[in-house]
Amino acid sequence: MPELIQHSLIFLLGYLIGSFPTAYLTVKRTTRLDIRESGSGNVGAMNTFDVTRSRLLGITVMIIDMTKGVATVLMSSLLFGDGFRTMSVAGLGAIVGHNYSPWIRFKGGRGLATAAGVMLVLAWIVVVVWCAAWCINYSYSRNVHISNVIASVVTPFIVWLTPEKVLQLVLTPSMSSTSLTVVTVILFSLILIRHAQLIAELWKSSHKA
Residue 175 DSSP SS3: coil
Measured in whole angstroms, the distance separating CA 61 from the mean position of its chain's CA atoms is 13
Q: What is the pLDDT of residues 49-76, one digit of tens each?
A: 999 999 999 999 999 999 999 999 999 9
How many of the other CB atoms lie within 10 Å of CB of 76?
A: 27
145-158 pLDDT tens trace:
899 999 999 999 99
Tell me the pLDDT of the chain averaged across its residues: 93
| Residue 101, SS3 per DSSP | strand
SS3 state of residue 107 = strand
pLDDT tens digits along 4-43: 899 999 999 999 999 999 999 999 999 999 999 999 999 9
Helix intervals (H) in 100-176: 112-122, 124-141, 144-161, 164-167
Report residue 6 CA to chain centroid gap.
23
For residues 92 and 204, what is the distance between their CA atoms, to the nearest angstrom? 31
User: What residue type is assigned to position 82 of the chain?
Assistant: D
At residue 164, the pLDDT reads: 82
DSSP states along 41-87: ---SHHHHHHHH--HHHHHHHHHHHHHHHHHHHHHHHHHH---HHHH
Average pLDDT of span 161-189: 87
* 44 within 8 A of 50, measured Cβ to Cβ: no
Domain range spanning residue 183? Answer: 3-208
- Following CA atoms 120, 199, 60, 52 in sequence, which dihedral angle do they give, to the nearest 10 degrees? 180
pLDDT digits (tens, 9 = 90+) for 78-100: 999 888 999 999 999 999 999 99
Domain count for the chain: 1
Percentage of residues in the chain having pLDDT higher than 70: 98
